[in-house]
Amino acid sequence: MSQSEPYLKIGNLTKRFGDFTALSDVTLAVFEGEFVCFLGPSGCGKTTLLRAIAGLDIQTYGTVDQAGRDVSSLPPAERDFGIVFQSYALFPNLTIEKNIAYGLENLKQPASKIRDRVAELLQLVGMPEQGKKYPAQLSGGQQQRVALARAIAISPGLLLLDEPLSALDAKVRVKLRHEIKELQRKLGITTIMVTHDQEEALTMADRIVVINNGLIEQVGTPEQIYREPATRFVADFIGSMNFLPATKVSKNKVRIGQLEFSCSDAAGSAEITPDQPVHAAIRPEDILVGDASSNYIDATVDSIEFLGSFVRADLSSPQLDGLILLADFSANRVRSENLSAGSHIRISLPAESLLIYAE
């Protein structure tokens, strides 16, 4: 993440399908060697943006600059990228070797050189012995690796991945996450991955671009996206979040029910004028037992749900006019505090974790 010129610049990109606007006015910069995830619900325009970057579906307006070159209207063959699709699109009638060599054969290299490169790539993706097989003879995860090897075979400057893991079993998916990330780091290749799986994005990305309805909601590191969601949509989409109807009182004061709380002034809350109805938001795991901060209330545990390493509790308090708060407590905590349905506890909502969003 150098401070120099970005490797890829997307400027005011809009894509329409007939009357329908799939992307509107998207502007984004990706730096050399970065791993960026496009994250958003299904149908929000992630694939459309990726295909515009690749030149597979040219945008209606806007520009794409790659490595200092304006590629906005170039066909895919004249751009510099490798791509992996959700379906892998391996050529079924060619062996694994031939699939990987497919792009190399255009470069007019001697056969021995191609063979060496294919062997090297097979080694790289951990399948050194499988070159003679056909795609149908491989497992989903192996096909995925082959598709990746084929995409990076011609050493492209940019690697595009469209939901590469979504067709796989949960276990394989987690394993491949690490493999892909590892490979990307080793090669230092600038990578954009599309996913609707927030866990995938949070674990793999250097930066995440959250997209909704064809608009960029937020760009930031996984930490920023999780800790300081810029919009109500991001707050809701990533992780779980309590939303409580509230009223802004002053710069970092908010009233929920009958109580006033200090709150964070991050997340664009500066634009909200006092006395405006807002939503106060806090993640269940940020709610603490005890009066560690001045933002505390007395609550009743309505019910408790055991979720393995932690427990999710439904809390309510007369001071909050009957609003329900979800809180996650560690299993140890529950045991030491002896919490169960009907218990009365004091909880605090740390100010830096209490965010507010306009209604």
Give whichever of 86 and 95 is closer to ligand ADP, judged by the CB atom.
86
Give whichever of 166 and 332 is closer to ligand ADP, judged by the CB atom.
166
Give whichever of 51 and 248 is closer to other proteins, judged by the CB atom.
51
Q: Where are the beta strands (DSSP E) in the chain?
A: 8-17, 20-30, 35-39, 61-66, 69-70, 82-84, 158-162, 190-195, 207-212, 215-220, 242-250, 253-256, 259-262, 277-282, 288-289, 296-306, 310-316, 324-330, 344-348, 355-358
Give whichever of 18 and 92 is closer to ligand ADP, judged by the CB atom.
18
Of positions 91, 120, 182, 307, contacts other proteins by CB under 8 A: 91
54 makes contact, choosing from ligand ADP, Mg ion, other proteins, none, with CB < 5 to 8 Å by partner type, with: other proteins
Contact between 22 and ligand ADP by CB under 6 A: the answer reads: yes
Is residue 52 within 8 A of residue 23, CB to CB? The reply is yes
* Binding segment toward ligand ADP, per CB under 6 A, in 15-23, 63-71, 81-89, 114-122: 15-23
CA 86 to chain centre: 16
* Binding segment toward ligand ADP, per CB under 6 A, in 43-51, 105-113, 292-300, 343-351: 43-51
Site string for other proteins, 248-267 (x = CB under 8 A): --------------------
CB neighbour list of residue 308: distance below 8 Å, 6 or more residues apart? 331
Spatial distance between the Cα atoms of 151 and 142, rounded to a whole number of angstroms: 14
CB neighbour list of residue 80: distance below 8 Å, 6 or more residues apart? 66, 67, 156, 157, 158
Lookup: tokens for 73:
């209207």
Q: How far is CA 338 from CA 129, 308, 313, 325, 342, in A?
A: 57, 17, 13, 19, 11
Give whichever of 237 and 296 is closer to ligand ADP, judged by the CB atom.
237
Cα three-residue angle 208-187-80, rounded to 5 degrees: 75
Which residues in the 30-59 window bind Mg ion by CB under 5 A?
47
Spatial distance between the Cα atoms of 72 and 59, rounded to a whole number of angstroms: 8
CA 323 to chain centre: 30
Beta partners for 325?
315
Contact between 47 and ligand ADP by CB under 6 A: the answer reads: yes
Q: Which residue is nearest to ligand ADP (CB)?
A: 47
* Binding segment toward ligand ADP, per CB under 6 A, in 40-48, 108-116, 131-139, 291-299: 40-48
What is the dihedral angle through the alpha carbons of 179, 37, 158, 136, rounded to the nearest 10 degrees? 50
Q: How far is CA 353 from CA 61, 96, 282, 288, 317, in A?
A: 40, 50, 6, 11, 19
Of positions 29, 74, 119, 154, contacts other proteins by CB under 8 A: 154
Spatial distance between the Cα atoms of 134 and 146, rounded to a whole number of angstroms: 11
* Binding segment toward other proteins, per CB under 8 A, in 149-157, 259-267, 319-327, 351-359: 149-157
Of positions 11, 33, 76, 141, contacts other proteins by CB under 8 A: 76
Of positions 24, 35, 39, 45, contacts ligand ADP by CB under 6 A: 45
* Binding segment toward other proteins, per CB under 8 A, in 73-81, 174-182, 187-195, 281-289: 73-81
Shortest separation between residue 173's beta carbon and ligand ADP, angstroms: 18
Of positions 22, 49, 54, 202, contacts other proteins by CB under 8 A: 54
Contact between 19 and ligand ADP by CB under 6 A: the answer reads: no
* Binding segment toward ligand ADP, per CB under 6 A, in 44-52, 58-66, 179-187, 231-239: 44-52
Binding residues vs other proteins (CB under 8 A): 54, 56, 75-77, 81-83, 85, 87, 89, 91-94, 102-103, 106, 134-137, 150-151, 153-154, 156
